[in-house]
Amino acid sequence: MLNPMYSQYAAEYAAAIQDNSYNAHYERPSLCALLPELQGKRVIDLGCGPGEYVAYLMSQGATVTAVDGSADMIALVHQKLGNPFNAYVQDLAQGVPDEADQSFDLAVCPLMVHYLEDPTPLFRDVKRILKPEGLFVFSTHHPFVDYQFSPSGNYFLTEKIVDEWDTLGKPTRVEYFRRPLSALMRSLTDAGLCVLEMSEGRPDEQMQETDPQSYRKLSTAPGFLFLKCQVM
């Protein structure tokens, strides 16, 4: 199941996240703060979207493989960056079966895990394709934030949420999964990954000028959860 925001509205999504508050001035700086030195590293971007991270990772000297479930997003990545690298369509609920064991130094997965009902198969594949000292850095909706949208009111369930977001400047239907923090942690440990560092993110200083309301909100309450993991 792909949300229309990532398929038929992919180009609008690409334009919207270039310089917006939540992606450009909160999520990306918070996730990048957890990344290791990138020069000469082999990196896979899982759920690459229109390629904001691909461009950044390449600019820092990494060799990047980009994967997304949306053919429209992969087309945008090629349009943005040309074709000198490997980018392909894959449903990440099934992991990355075409990637070789122990072939990457780093896997990143910004804001994609909450679209999977069960992220364990992906996490198992992340462990398989990472080199022994490899790192997995990802962000996802904060479980405490998503709990307010729980249809059942039972925090301990994993549930599908149907909502409308204004990311594109018009209400757009989205579906994703919320889960308790313990379920996310169990999926990681079941896959053989351990958490080295956790962050709840912080908005950059520019947002204070450009969007003071979101700056106040994200400075006083969490939005996303950021985890840096390693193979156990």
Tell me which residues in 110-149 interact with ligand SAM (CB under 6 A): 110-112, 115-116
Of 58-66, 88-96, 141-149, 196-204, the window that binds ligand SAM (rule: CB under 6 A) is: 88-96
Based on the shown chain and the rule CB under 6 A, indicate whether residue 99 belongs to the binding site for ligand SAM: no
Q: Is 70 helix (H, G, I), strand (E, B) or coil?
A: coil
Q: Smallest Cα–Cα separation from 20: which of 141, 136, 178, 165?
A: 165
Could you tell me the smallest distance in angstroms from the CB atom of residue 153 to ligand SAM?
26
Distances (CA, A) of 58 to 54, 188, 197, 229: 6, 27, 24, 21
Among left, alpha and beta (phi > 0; psi -120 to 50; other), residue 179 is beta
How many of the chain's residues bind ligand SAM (CB under 6 A)?
A: 20
Residue linked to tokens 């690298």 = 85
Footprint (CB under 6 A) of ligand SAM, residues 4-63: 6, 17, 47-49, 52-53
**Orientation of helix 120-129 relative to helix 181-191, angle to 10°:** 40
Contact between 92 and ligand SAM by CB under 6 A: the answer reads yes
Q: What's the min distance (Å) between Cβ of 216 and ligand SAM?
A: 23
Q: For tokens 């996303």, name the residue.
A: 224
- Binding status of residue 73 toward ligand SAM by CB under 6 A: yes
Q: Smallest gap, in angstroms, from Cβ of residue 48 to ligand SAM?
A: 6
Distance (Å, whole) CA 139 – CA 12: 22
Among 57, 69, 95, 228, binds ligand SAM (CB under 6 A): 69
Residue whose beta carbon is closest to ligand SAM: 49
Distance CA 50, CA 74 (A): 7
Binds ligand SAM (CB under 6 A): choice among 16, 24, 57, 68: 68
> Could you tell me which residues are beta bridge partners of residue 66?
45, 87
Name the residues that contact ligand SAM, by CB under 6 A: 2, 6, 17, 47-49, 52-53, 68-70, 73, 91-93, 110-112, 115-116
